[in-house]
Structure 1
Amino acid sequence: MPVTLQQIAEAAGVSRGTVDRALKNRGRVNAEVAERIRKIAKEMGYQPSRAGRALAMAKKNVKIAVILQSVQTPFMNLVLEGVLAAKQEVESLGGSVEVFPVKGVDAQSVMEIMDKLYEEQYSGIALVPSEDSVLKNKIRQFAEEYEIPIVTLNSDVEDTKRLCYVGQNGIQSGRTAAGLMGEIIGEKGQVVVISGHISNPSLNNRARGFQSEIMDEFPEIELIHTRYSYDDDWVAGKIVEELIEQYPNLSGIYITGPAVKGICEALEKLGKGKSIKVIGNDFLSENKKWMEKGVINFLIGQDAYVQGYEPVMILFRLFLDHKEPKEEYQYTEIVIKTKYNM
């Protein structure tokens, strides 16, 4: 049976009202007595009523914001599903969650939203960051000066005092892709990374992990300078055309992010759909289609739903139960798929 306030009061030799004030930090209780009451409550396994705490959250007007960059991409639509599930759960328990979409990678828009959230006294923020020194300073200001906790998702900016990160370990994902690439092209040849936005930390980490593993484990493979599509299929297609013209013996392409359609269509058009090996990311319908056609050899997945759901719930648990996240880096699982196990 759950421990009651009356049981704690009897164990501490004080009134029930004194226990209630001590556990809720309402003052008018001697500091030593309050500490003794809290210690007894902990030893007895006391857990406050979740319904009561939810009511308290509603009275405190706890508000959580979620800022999603590149919201137009299919992957972020999956992340949004997780966010909306968390929103429904949080709002059923007295809190509120609002989503602020940002098209593309736009640090200025993110900072403008953050300023608005500060003015409107939001309690915590979950956001997709980007590589921008001013945005990093803004996150640091919110965490240190304003004491507004921030959880990063999908991409991370480590030196900002953010509370924690939920998403893929980009370096390990890139290393995984490099290992696969080395095996399927025979440990020699020419490979290139085609990435998305140059300011996307997650994609940059994938590229770094891929490049470092290729250099360390497959020294006979030549790394061609990374190209950036900025998540645009037309740009990605033109990049492929130029690469094949410049490097007719190109062996492999590692796609760190979106614009898969543009890359694969160009390869097919140029008759290279089977001869150039391709590794991509995420189990999206477009990506699966090209894997089934044999143009993509491997897809490396991450859990989009968790990346949306868990940051909101981490903040909610912080406000509701005063629970800090268990780990600073909450990495989602790296999963490898081929057309045979998709």
Structure 2
Amino acid sequence: MPVTLEEIARAAGVSRGTVDRALHDRGRIRPEVAAEIKKLALEMGYQPSRAGKALAMSGKKIKIGVILQYMETPFMMQTLKGVQEGKQEVESLGGIVQICEIEKVRPDKVIKLMEDMRRQGFQGIALTPSENPELKKVISKYCKEYGIPIVMMNADLEDTGRLCFVGQDNYQSGRTAAGLMGEITGGKGQVGVITGEVSNPGLKARRNGFTEELQKCYPHIQVAAVCYSHDEEEEAARATEQLLVQYPQLTGIYVTGHGVSGVCRVLKKAGKDGKIRMIANDFLEENKKWLKEGTINFLIGQDARTQGYEPVMILFRLLFDQIKPEKELLHTEIAIKTRYNI
């Protein structure tokens, strides 16, 4: 027998109305509650009865494209799972979702894929952007001239005319890291920042939020250096080794993105784990291991599933139901974990 909304409500400990709002994305409901209900419904085998809409939709030929950069990083692999969930839902209704994966930063390839999608009649595109003047121009042209809505995910380019952004408030995440660093270092000392690709706007926002908040609230903490790992573990390890040599009094390290294990291995080998305070991002299994061991003091997490799933569904709702997103900035939660609550 098919799973009912009442059964899902009982399993989730909420009302039937809450389940209905969560599964159909209507009404006011906290994003984390909606995500848990959708996950539970999927596990229980719930199949939405939208045959009428699926039949009507087949005539609309809705086609959504997704372009993901930085696919060598574990976090983007988590985001991909959310995209695939959205693809499965849209395609169950007769639509088409095409996912294109790109390793590293390749704005030229993003532009080519966008043009391919436009020529093939795709009506909406979700993508992870990078700081590139030509890519910005192309995105603006698609939004303003071609009328193809673009949803940014994971990182944002605000001045492009994009429909909306889904992801963490990266600047605020950096400020959060600065506040934590200020507390665990006693508000003084030298800290290093290890970040990824120069052209990643999300990591740039975190770095800026971190350094500006330290300048404002913790003037006795000096940012000794900002190092770029280009999202490579070994590059992050080498950057850490250089920091330890150049700044023997280093008191803290903030890692804005990928490369955490490389940093932790060097600190452990040098006998500095637990002595040099460390803050990193994303609740990856490897990162959680270092957190439990005490090499990392705090992990700042973001909702990878939502960042992948919601852009697909936002475009679907816009193209099928003409429902625009409620806000331009759809920020996911900034979560903090320690070894005691992981």
TM norm. shorter chain > 0.5: yes
Partner AA of 1:167 in structure 2: G
* Pairing of 1:48-63 with structure 2 (within 5 A): 51-63=51-63
Letter in 2 for 1:208: N
Alpha-carbon distance in 2 for matches of 1:169, 1:304: 13
Corresponding residue for residue 189 of structure 1? 189
Which residue of structure 2 lines up, in the alignment, with residue 268 of structure 1? 268
Q: Which amino acid aligns with 1:206?
A: R
Structure 1 unpaired stretches of 5+: 1-48
Q: Quick check: 1:319 aligned with 2:319?
A: yes
Following superposition, which runs of at least 4 residues in structure 1 exceed 6 angstroms of deviation? none
Summarize deviations over 1:232-269 as a string: whole Å, max 9, x none.
11111111111111100000000000011111111111
How far the C-alpha of 1:53 sits from its partner, in A, is 3.8
Contact 2:195 2:228 in 1 (8 A): yes
Tell me whether 1:75 sits opposite 2:41 in the alignment: no
Give the deviation of 1:77 after TM superposition.
1.0
2:216 maps to a residue whose letter is D
**What's the counterpart of residue 174 of structure 1?**
174
Amino acid at match of 1:236: A
Deviation at 1:60? 2.1
Match of 2:84 in 1: 84
Superposed displacement of residue 96, structure 1: 1.0
1:244 maps to 244
The normalised TM-score by structure 1 is 0.84
Shift of 1:183: 0.3
Query: Residue 136 of structure 2: SS of its match in structure 1?
Result: helix
Q: In 2, are the aligned partners of 1:53 and 1:320 still within 8 Å (CA)?
A: no
Provide, for residues 152-186 of structure 1, a one-character-per-residue CA deviation record: whole Å limited to 9, x for no partner: 00000000000000000011100000000000011
Distance in 2 (CA, whole Å) between partners of 1:226 and 1:133 is 23
- Mapped partners of 1:319, 1:115: distance in 2: 19
CA contact (8 A) 1:174 1:210 kept: yes
What TM-score comes out, normalization by structure 2 length?
Answer: 0.84
Q: Does 1:286 align with 2:286?
A: yes
Kept after mapping to 1: 8 A contact 2:62/2:320: no
The equivalent residue for 1:303 is: 303
After the TM superposition, which residues 1-342 of structure 1 pair with which residues of structure 2 at under 5 Å, given as runs? 51-342=51-342
Q: Secondary structure at the match of 1:224?
A: strand
Distance 2:136 2:58 in 1: 31
Residue deviations 1:279-319 (CA, integer Å, cap 9, x gap) = 00000011011111111000001100000000000000001
Inter-partner Cα distance in structure 1 for 2:316 and 2:310: 10
Residues 170 and 205, structure 2, Cα contact 8 Å, conserved in 1: yes
CA–CA separation in structure 2 for the residues paired with 1:58 and 1:66 = 20
Q: Matched residues in 2 for 1:149 and 1:52: separation?
A: 26
Q: Distance in 2 between matches of 1:328 and 1:78?
A: 24
- Deviation, 1:61, is 1.4
The alignment partner of 2:59 has SS state of: helix
What are the ranges of 5 or more consecutive residues in structure 2 without an aligned counterpart?
Answer: 1-48
Distance (Å, rounded) in 2 between the aligned partners of 1:86 and 1:156: 20
Task: Supply the AA of the counterpart residue of 1:308.
Answer: G
Q: Distance in 2 between matches of 1:327 and 1:234?
A: 39
Identity in percent: 54
C-alpha separation in 2, matches of 1:146 and 1:52: 30
